Amino acid sequence: MKRIYFDHSATTPVDEEVAKLMLEYMTEKFGNPSSIHSFGREVRKAIDEARGHVAALLGANPNEIFFTSGGTEADNLALKGVALANRKKGNHIITTAIEHHAILHTCEYLEKQGFTITYLPVDEHARVSVEDVRNAITDKTILISIMFANNEVGTIQPIKEIGEIAKEKGIYFHTDAVQAVGNCPINVKELNIDLLTLSGHKFHGPKGIGALYARRGVRLEALQQGGGQERTLRPGTENVPGIVGLGKAAEIAKRDMEKKIAHVEALKNKLIAGITEKISDIKLNGHPTLRMPGNVNFSFRYVEGESLLLNLDLKGIAASSGSACTSGSLDPSHVLLAMGLTHEVAHGSLRISLGRGNTEEDIDYCLTVLPEIIERLRSMSPLSGSSTMAESNPCSHCHKH
């Protein structure tokens, strides 16, 4: 059966160059980078080179890059690290209602520690207002944390403008750029970003490795204690294969950025146009133009996201949904609800995230299969006959009212 991977926002395949280099540092070059003999020194050199590649991808300095186990740890280190180190200056943090749970749950934790969090709303395109950010600032504000691009609907936030406000007010600005790094150009200096988090497996690096960019001069408190690795901010023997893999992935991403963006943008535009033409009662979620190059997110009325995913999977297409039924939650995506979608419409969402390995043939196959699935699911749905029923029973599978 044909198998097509349309879930690159969830994870990406490891690049062959990356995998080859990682294997070398698992088998031949296995020294501990803290050791002073030749085995340790060659590994320390490789870590320094990887740090340089990650810094170059962001327009940062190598000594501003700290390796972590991934985006979640980097988010925790950014938020908690700033909060704990600067609590004498203030206890107020600004974020948005559509952040990844790595941010939202960290903010909930900080609230229990006595910090005040402002969760800003977004518009129907999932974009935060620059004026809302400005108006939320108080004399107690120490940090603004707003994601670069949304992981579900792909909307890119007004990062440069928010960075300018934060700089003007003397407030740290953090962005969770896990979806964006390696997939669109970012220069932390030009965008006035003080802290940025990234994850290797979102751009053809390995899982279990990420990084925090922290501008020189940013006051951070370490969350764990140990040796002197990562200048004591993130102690523990380094994940050398992961770090060299991340460095190589960053090097490749910088090298191939323009070509990759042009490729996935063309596929995205073809897919959006095809779905719009072939299927009725739909809604494109996210900003029509200010969105990630490979992100396509639609809601289909009278269709359940989970059923849609299962039927696509049976046809060999892997995608994802804004419906969280499979994770044990009865509620649809917090992002779609924050954008103003009803439960019924949000439950019928489909995210297709394209990558460099996808082809026009993949898009053609999807545009053949998807309309047939939607038509069949709607013909079986008790929701499609009555809008009143649709509103009162938005998810027949979950029985969520």
Nearest to 346 by CA among 389, 394, 384: 394
Mean pLDDT in residue range 128-138: 98
Q: Are 286 and 268 in contact (CB under 8 A)?
A: no
Mean pLDDT in residue range 198-219: 98
Burial of 64 (0-12, 13-18, 19+ CB in 10 A): buried
**C-alpha to C-alpha distance for 329 and 321, rounded to whole angstroms:** 13
Catalytic residue at 325?
yes
Average pLDDT of the chain is: 93
Mean pLDDT in residue range 262-278: 98
| pLDDT over threshold 50, residue 208 | yes
What confidence tens digit (pLDDT) does each residue in 20-69 have? Answer: 999 999 999 999 999 999 999 999 999 999 999 999 999 999 999 999 99
User: pLDDT: is 392 or 221 the higher one?
Assistant: 221
Q: What backbone torsions phi and psi does residue 267 show, to the nearest 5 degrees?
A: -65, -40
Return the sign of the alpha-carbon dihedral for residues 358, 175, 73, 249.
positive
Cα–Cα distances in angstroms (integers) from residue 260 to residues 66, 293, 350, in the given order: 27, 9, 23
**C-alpha to C-alpha distance for 339 and 286, rounded to whole angstroms:** 9
**C-alpha to C-alpha distance for 182 and 339, rounded to whole angstroms:** 26
Amino acid at 4: I
Mean pLDDT in residue range 3-20: 98
| Percent of the residues in the chain that have a pLDDT greater than 70, as a whole number | 93
pTM of the shown model? 0.93
Identify the band that residue 332 occupies on the pLDDT scale cut at 50, 70 and 90.
confident
Identify the band that residue 388 occupies on the pLDDT scale cut at 50, 70 and 90.
very low
| pLDDT over threshold 90, residue 401 | no
| pLDDT over threshold 80, residue 387 | no
Cα–Cα distances in angstroms (integers) from residue 312 to residues 86, 173, 304, 315, 352, in the given order: 49, 40, 12, 5, 11
> What does the pLDDT read at residue 392?
34
Catalytic residue among 107, 325, 366, 398: 325
Mean pLDDT in residue range 139-145: 98
> What does the pLDDT read at residue 328?
54
What confidence tens digit (pLDDT) does each residue in 231-256 have? Answer: 999 999 999 999 999 999 999 999 99
User: Which stretch of 95-104, 133-142, 191-200, 299-308 has the lowest confidence by average pLDDT?
Assistant: 299-308
Residue 250, both tokens = 């960053």
